[in-house]
Amino acid sequence: MQRRGSRGAPTGGVGGMGATKGYDGKIAGLYDLETTLGRGHYAVVKMARHVFTGEKVAVKVIDKSKLDGLSKEHLFQEVRCMKLVQHPNVVRLYEVIDTQTKLYLVLELADGGDLYDYIMRHEAGLSEPQAREYFGQIVRAISYCHRLHVVHRDLKPENVVFFERAGVVKLTDFGFSNKFCPGQKLETSCGSLAYSAPEILLGDSYDAPAVDVWSLGVILFMLVCGQAPFQEANDSETLTMIMDCKYNISNHVSDACKRLIGRMLVRDPERRATLDEIASDPWLFQENNLITSDLPLVSYRTLSETDHALIVHKMVQGNICTKEDLLESLEKNEYNYITATYYLLAERKLKSLNPKPQVKPIPRKSAPVVRLEPCNENDNTITTTTPNILSVSRGVGELAQRSRKCSIVTEDDEEE
């Protein structure tokens, strides 16, 4: 039998996703759904207000009746990977709500748009110090993912969103992500043409980390040049440019930055720079670069006893749950209404203690310990130890403001 808090929020899981079950008809009492932020084939993303705290969140509403077998597998991998990856530069997943007809993913809401729109407002590209700042944060996020054996496979500026008040960028949209085993090749061809590595477009089996590195090269090129390196009049011409690795970098870009881009945009994945090599590259690794600093993640284990006690008291007095249910949900690192409420209150407290951004604000105009289990193609579980830090997701950055040029060529047995 599932344990319930005072507001009827069960703390159990469903479908291997650790989702809260039984919310049909109750979502409106927990979250006030507001404006639509974007639509996809089987999902809609809405801005919402967490009723108890008043905090804004993004809610991805997935119509389960529109999911085919392949879509279900991608959705499972998305939720699985976003629960595993817990990093300050990855959008946070607060809660998974599973109902008879819909799946709700409650996500951290970005307040500054996405990196693509920001780049498009800078025709000649960003200044190199600014590009270095944002690129460094993306590298940190992907490096963390790869250490947990998670490959993103759809890295692009549209999937990097700004958190203006915090002064950071965060990675989102793990719809094509998957677990990988070092040394073993993946088979699925997926992603967006202009950002895809040659080996994916050829339909070859490929080394997972290397395809993300290629996409990072495209992103850095766009940051400093203001346009994509491989974006021709039609897909056929774009494909040819990618295969030939033909691109022209603007003259204003420094030689050091050009060299780093050239180390990533290499057709042979074995000659492509690794993430460790990128992080230590002279252009990126500079004394004053914020890539070496870590922003805090909110964890009940790292909150002061006073702050923790105040949040517990507020939730119990607000009839959200009992103290026992709250502590149990936190210990189990669950993704339910109880933990969502707790972490939203904790983040509000953190913001009040750190009102100033830790990095340069974005102008509007212009590790938790994780136990890695042996790779198993049929393993549908994730084991984490003592993180108790909510994780990530594909969130508002997935807003479908631009068409996604994605191709799923084959879907073989990877880490499903």
Measure the CA–CA gap between 244 and 198, rounded to whole angstroms: 9
Residues 96 and 149 in one domain: no
> Degrees (nearest 5) of the Cα angle 12, 18, 21?
50
Q: Which of 48, 82, 107 is the last residue of a domain?
A: 107
Residues 75 and 169 in one domain: no
Residues 44 and 125 in one domain: no
Residues 46 and 164 in one domain: no
Q: Is residue 239 part of a domain?
A: yes
The token duo for 259 is 């060299």
Q: What is the residue range of 102's domain?
A: 26-107
Concatenated DSSP letters for 25-38?
Answer: TTHHHHEEEEEEEE
Q: How many beta carbons lie within 10 A of that of residue 85, not counting itself? A: 27
**297: nearest Cα among 394, 393, 389:** 389
Residue 398: predicted pLDDT: 32
Rounded alpha-carbon distances, angstroms, from residue 204 to 179, 208, 409: 18, 12, 11
Residues 124 and 33 in one domain: no
Residues 135 and 100 in one domain: no
The token duo for 312 is 């517990």
Pairing label, strands 150-151, 178-179? antiparallel
Residue 19: predicted pLDDT: 56
Q: Is 313 helix (H, G, I), strand (E, B) or coil?
A: helix
Measure the CA–CA gap between 324 and 332, rounded to whole angstroms: 12
Q: From the candidates 98, 154, 173, 281, give the one annotated as an active-site residue.
A: 154
Domain containing 45 — which CATH number?
3.30.200.20
Q: Is residue 365 part of a domain?
A: no
Q: Is residue 247 part of a domain?
A: yes
Q: Which of 297, 329, 353 is the last residue of a domain?
A: 353
Residues 138 and 259 in one domain: yes
What is the number of residues in the chain? 416
Q: Is residue 97 part of a domain?
A: yes
Cβ proximity of 58 and 48 under 8 Å? yes
Enumerate residues 6+ apart whose C-beta is below 8 A from 162. Answer: 110, 111, 112, 113, 114, 115, 118, 168, 169, 362
Residues 100 and 134 in one domain: no
Q: Is residue 339 part of a domain?
A: yes
Per the structure, the count of domains in the chain is 3
Residues 189 and 320 in one domain: no
Sign of the C-alpha dihedral computed for residues 76, 79, 80 and 82 taken in this order: positive
Residues 127 and 252 in one domain: yes
Residues 205 and 148 in one domain: yes
Measure the CA–CA gap between 51 and 33, rounded to whole angstroms: 10
Q: Which of 43, 74, 107 is the last residue of a domain?
A: 107
Domain containing 192 — which CATH number?
1.10.510.10
Q: Return the exposure string of 28-62: e unless at least 16 CB atoms fall within 10 Å of the residue's CB, then b.
A: eebbeeeeebbebebbbbbbbbbebbebebbbbbb
Per-residue pLDDT of the chain (416 residues; tens, 9 = 90+): 333 343 444 333 334 455 555 444 457 689 999 999 988 888 999 999 999 999 999 999 999 999 988 888 888 888 989 888 889 899 999 999 998 899 999 999 998 889 999 999 988 899 999 999 999 999 999 999 999 999 999 999 999 999 888 889 999 999 899 999 998 999 988 889 999 999 999 998 999 999 999 999 999 999 999 999 998 889 999 999 999 999 999 999 999 999 999 999 999 999 999 999 999 999 998 754 544 444 556 776 778 899 999 999 999 999 999 999 999 999 988 999 999 999 999 988 877 776 554 444 334 333 333 333 334 433 433 333 223 332 223 233 332 333 333 333 333 444 44
Q: Is residue 118 part of a domain?
A: yes
**139: nearest Cα among 93, 87, 185:** 87
Q: Is residue 386 part of a domain?
A: no
Q: Which helix (H) or strand (E) holds 161?
A: strand 160-163
Residue 279: predicted pLDDT: 94
**70: nearest Cα among 190, 186, 173:** 190
pTM for this one? Answer: 0.77
For 89, what's the count of Cα atoms within 13 Å in the CB-facing half-sphere? 25
Q: Provide φ and ψ at 353, rounded to 5°.
A: -85, -25
Residues 96 and 197 in one domain: no
SS3 of 39-101: ECCCEEEEEEEECCCCCEEEEEEEEHHHCCHHHHHHHHHHHHHHHHCCCCCECCEEEEEECCC
* Residue 325 appears among annotated catalytic residues: no
Residue 18: predicted pLDDT: 53
Q: Is residue 190 part of a domain?
A: yes
* CA 29 to chain CA centroid, nearest Å: 27
